[in-house]
Amino acid sequence: MAANFELTREYLDQLKDAISNEDSVVTHEMVDDLHPADIAEIYDELNIDEAKFVHLLLEGEKSADVLMELEEDVRERFLEALPGDVIAHKFIEKLDSDDAADVLNELSEEKKSEVLKSIDDTEQAGDIVDLMSYDEDSAGGLMAKELIQVNVNWDLVTCMREMRKQAAEVDEIYYVYVVDDDGILQGTVSLKRMLLVRPNAKIKNIYNNKVISVPTDMPSNDVALIMEKYDLVALPVVDLLGRLLGRITIDDVVDVIKEEAEKDYQMISGISEDVEPSDNVLLLTRARIPWLLIGLAGGILGAQVISRFEGQISEYPQMAMFIPLIAAMGGNVGVQSSSIVVQGLANKSFSLDSTWQKLTKEVSVAFLNAAIFSILIFGYNYFFTTGFALTVMVSISLFTVMMFASVFGAFIPMILNRFKADPAVATGPFITTMNDVLGIVIYMAIGRIIFNALM
Amino acid sequence: MAANFELTREYLDQLKDAISNEDSVVTHEMVDDLHPADIAEIYDELNIDEAKFVHLLLEGEKSADVLMELEEDVRERFLEALPGDVIAHKFIEKLDSDDAADVLNELSEEKKSEVLKSIDDTEQAGDIVDLMSYDEDSAGGLMAKELIQVNVNWDLVTCMREMRKQAAEVDEIYYVYVVDDDGILQGTVSLKRMLLVRPNAKIKNIYNNKVISVPTDMPSNDVALIMEKYDLVALPVVDLLGRLLGRITIDDVVDVIKEEAEKDYQMISGISEDVEPSDNVLLLTRARIPWLLIGLAGGILGAQVISRFEGQISEYPQMAMFIPLIAAMGGNVGVQSSSIVVQGLANKSFSLDSTWQKLTKEVSVAFLNAAIFSILIFGYNYFFTTGFALTVMVSISLFTVMMFASVFGAFIPMILNRFKADPAVATGPFITTMNDVLGIVIYMAIGRIIFNALM
């Protein structure tokens, strides 16, 4: 596997040929050398029978790894069809404890206990059950039990001997954790440090006691922020007494970061499900419906507002001209200020600002933008359209709508966050549509006042 | 440093007190134990003189690390004020080669050469100059020269001795790279494997020859996708002959992933600069202006379109009612389909679909959604508003606008991508505003046809 494998149409045709000829030698040859992640990608392009044919040719560990790389729903379908003891021996026993717990949590209650009872190694089964009890979006849900720990009172020779024993079940080492007699985390020794010191050195003299650890109940977003900020590849998880329970590795945190970013992006783009362009037409259609429904409701509401002012519009049809402008500007400003707040909350970058400071700042920004754009539109209308009343009205409305949408857009996510809801909801359809409708109400109401005053 | 440090108002007040009393003992005590990332965070809350006072108390390595953690613009200001030899000795020489190259690239040409000439270790200076030549958004720009490599013909004892030599300048080891006599990358040996085998083992018998490597010119997004897909913590970079040049570590790639996600998010939310809620009012205002300007231009264009149909509106004022609905639905659908394509392109999840398949699929999804929503609005208008002509007109317009915006929204990012431009631009203000305006044109044009036909 020189560089990375790239799936081509030719490769796929050749593989499908081999499968349809039931040629297990060629098929095995074609996939054996590939990384599990690549094999999982190939499965996406095969039908279920073809994928099964390939899967039965893979050896134990790799077969488990491939299943782990599949999309959750595909894996679920696959596993529900297998008996519990096969899942346990061929799959769960070959996975790291954190992956095993995640997979088991996807199964039905019945299947779950069937699989757990079939695991031969009771210690492993115990570890998995422990992990299954944590919220999947917490440090406990992200951690694996597999790690290397040594006692602070050992010397390097004892330590190396113990590490050889423990290393067999750990995929990657990264750090060796140092604990005291009660299992309380004291620090870490890097493998590099071990390479550089004499074999008779004592752990207590060479370990680094500045170790960052997190409690099991820390939300996974916070875990991600910590690993990112301190550039960590592994992070130990401790209980309330400080005892070492497991470690979180960076690959799991990269997934958290990606998912979080994608969730926020979907919210702001109005997609209600985790879809990809390769999904089928019905799923893609369905994912777009909720936002469009809310948009339609908002549009109908807007239409009703305008219909109350029908007389006004037939008298001054120019009023209709600026309806889209007002609605669009209100919507734009609202999304802008919501999204800055949402990103700020996600990155915890509000630092020490008080609520009062945040409020003052948002109002200042809103005021500046609203002033700039109402002056611009005043200028345009003054020189290029007829009717001073309309000119005044559009400027005042735009100012009001922009001030309102901007402050509203910033405060909804702050309030959602205060009540422990996801602030990104504020960038979603409901709030943006509400902003649109309120923009129209403000425009029409101000229009009535001004026309009554000036005409 | 038990768990992670949290910056509080009390801590900050105490620190500022110590600084204003020029009490270097207390100040040093308060920051000495902290991680460089935390110290950098504290600087954000201090004025420049306070930060300088703290910085002068830090010892060499930490002082360099703190500067590395600062925001780019803050660091630049800081460094431009220092003489070249101070920057070289106190800062550049203490950094990894990739960080050193990044920092030097931020400096003015004059300063750059001044600093480079002052670096004592010519090999280090050479490494840095090598790295500075790569595009910062490529594998070459992400890699560091510091890594541990051993010859495939060595035995473990020689290998360990060499590793001890090399380890001094490498922060974290992760993998030991195996090269042949020509420096061509052959594979890796994990430290874990070294722990588990006998000391007289030969590298050629224990190394893993399945190593994923990337060329120097691979874009950093693709590097991120590879490290993510294969769950790697370090990735070797090779030249065209396959010679090992450096390695990319996961912490740098996490930054790439975050930045990429934030860039896309800013684009879709209409923010033109990388701002945070803690930035000042002018910066926050300025970041919002470009989208709003384009929105204003679009709104004015929309107003002009509507003004051409002024007669029509004063005759049938109900037509104005549905202008916001049509514009909003077109905008929503356009953003939805653009964003799915943008995310699909970013994740390379289009797999093997041909352009024709993508087109067919997008048209099908657009058709389904357009049909559903034009039937819904037809039903609403038929029962709740008066005028059959208006009912027919709104339905047909909505269908046309949704079809158009949806297909347009999907194709713009594909075309941008084909021409090597950032597809995320399609979710930005220009295209969405264009969608709005075209929606209005379609609505008014269809309105004229239908009213002429039916009234």
What ipTM does the predicted assembly reach?
Answer: 0.83
Beta carbons of B292 and A233 less than 8 Å apart: no
Beta bridge partners of B376: none
Residue A100 burial class via C-beta count within 10 angstroms: exposed 0-12, middle 13-18, buried 19 and up: buried
Q: For residue range B242-261, what is the model confidence (pLDDT) as tens digits?
A: 999 999 999 889 999 988 88
Q: Enter the CATH code of domain B281-454.
A: 1.10.357.20
Q: How far is the C-alpha of A443 from the C-alpha of A394, rounded, in Å?
A: 8
Phi and psi angles of residue B350, each rounded to the nearest 5 degrees, phi first: -80, -10
Q: For residue range A344-376, what is the model confidence (pLDDT) as tens digits?
A: 888 776 656 667 777 788 889 999 999 999 999
* pLDDT, mean over chain B: 86
Using CA coordinates, name the residue in chain A closest to B171: A192
CATH architecture of B149-249: Roll (3.10)
Beta bridge partners of B403: none
CB B140 within 8 A of CB B134: yes
CB A41 within 8 A of CB B251: no
Test the B interface: residue of A365, A381, A394 with most B CBs within 10 Å: A365
Residue B2 has pLDDT above 70, yes or no: no
Test the B interface: residue of A147, A336, A353, A378 with most B CBs within 10 Å: A336
Distances in Å between the Cα of A360 and the Cα atoms of A59, A353, A424 are: 63, 11, 22
pLDDT band of B351, cuts 50, 70, 90? low
- Chain B nearest-CA distance from A447, in A, is 15
Start-to-end CA distance of chain B, whole Å, equals 79
Chain B neighbors of A365, CB-CB under 8 A = 281, 284-285, 288
With H, G, I as helix, E, B as strand and everything else as coil, classify residue B237: strand
A428 contact partners, CB below 8 Å, separation of at least 6: A267, A268, A270, A291
* pLDDT, mean over chain A: 86
Q: How far is the C-alpha of B225 from the C-alpha of B269, rounded, in Å?
A: 24
pLDDT band of A2, cuts 50, 70, 90? very low
The average pLDDT across A82-93 equals 85
Strand order in the sheet with A175-179: A149-151, A175-179, A185-190
Question: B103 is written with which tokens?
Answer: 């920092």
Using CA coordinates, name the residue in chain B closest to A304: B321
Phi and psi angles of residue A176, each rounded to the nearest 5 degrees, phi first: -105, 125
Residue A308 has pLDDT above 90, yes or no: no
Rounded to two decimals, the pTM is 0.84
Q: What is the per-residue pLDDT for B236?
A: 95
Q: Which residue has the tokens 């926020």?
A: A264
Dihedral Cα A216, A218, A224, A230, nearest 10 deg: -80
CB B246 within 8 A of CB B235: no
Q: What is the per-residue pLDDT for B349?
A: 66
CB-closest option in A4, A12, A295 to B226: A4
Using CA coordinates, name the residue in chain B closest to A196: B164
Dihedral Cα B73, B79, B81, B83, nearest 10 deg: -160
Alpha helices in B119-245 (DSSP H): 122-132, 139-142, 156-167, 191-196, 203-206, 220-229
- Number of H helices and E strands in chain B, helices first, is 23, 6
Domain A9-141 CATH (choose: 1.10.760.10, 3.30.70.60, 1.25.60.10, 1.10.3210.10)? 1.25.60.10
Residue A22 parent element (H or E): none
With H, G, I as helix, E, B as strand and everything else as coil, classify residue A79: helix
Chain A neighbors of B222, CB-CB under 8 A = none
CATH architecture of B9-142: Alpha Horseshoe (1.25)
Question: B44 is written with which tokens?
Answer: 């954000």
Query: Domain limits of chain A?
Result: 9-141, 149-249, 281-454
Q: What is the per-residue pLDDT for B390?
A: 86
Q: How far is the C-alpha of B333 from the C-alpha of B335, rounded, in Å?
A: 6
Chain B neighbors of A373, CB-CB under 8 A = 292, 296
Residue A177 has pLDDT above 90, yes or no: yes
Residue B367 parent element (H or E): helix B355-384
Long-range contacts of A59-64 (CB under 8 A, 24+ apart): A60/A90, A60/A94, A61/A94, A62/A36, A63/A90, A63/A91, A64/A90, A64/A91, A64/A94, A64/A95
Q: For residue range B410-449, what is the model confidence (pLDDT) as tens digits?
A: 888 888 888 888 888 888 888 888 888 898 999 989 988 8
Distances in Å between the Cα of A411 and the Cα atoms of A334, A363, A421, A427 are: 10, 11, 13, 11
